């Protein structure tokens, strides 16, 4: 029999599957934010590097 709020049979804690899904969502969001921040910082770093080495 499946416990209410879960997809796992025999789970006594209702909503544990929902908590796992939320935890995965948070971890994915953190990964995306960290990746996007580093990508933006790298782009800015390249702009400064190119600007510093530009022919003036």
For 1-56, write each residue's pLDDT tens digit.
555 555 555 556 667 889 999 999 999 999 999 999 999 999 999 999 999 999 87
pTM across the whole model: 0.61
Helix (H, G, I), strand (E, B) or coil at 45: helix
Q: Which two tokens stand for residue 10?
A: 């025999």
Rounded Cα gap, residues 33 and 31, in angstroms: 6
Helix (H, G, I), strand (E, B) or coil at 20: helix
Burial (0-12, 13-18, 19+ Cβ within 10 Å), 11: middle
């Amino acid at each position: 029999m499946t416990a209410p709020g879960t997809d796992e049979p025999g789970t006594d804690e209702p909503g544990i599957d929902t908590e796992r899904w939320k935890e995965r969502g948070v971890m994915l969001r953190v990964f995306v934010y960290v990746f996007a921040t580093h990508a933006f910082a790298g782009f800015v770093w390249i702009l400064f590097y190119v600007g510093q080495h530009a022919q003036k």
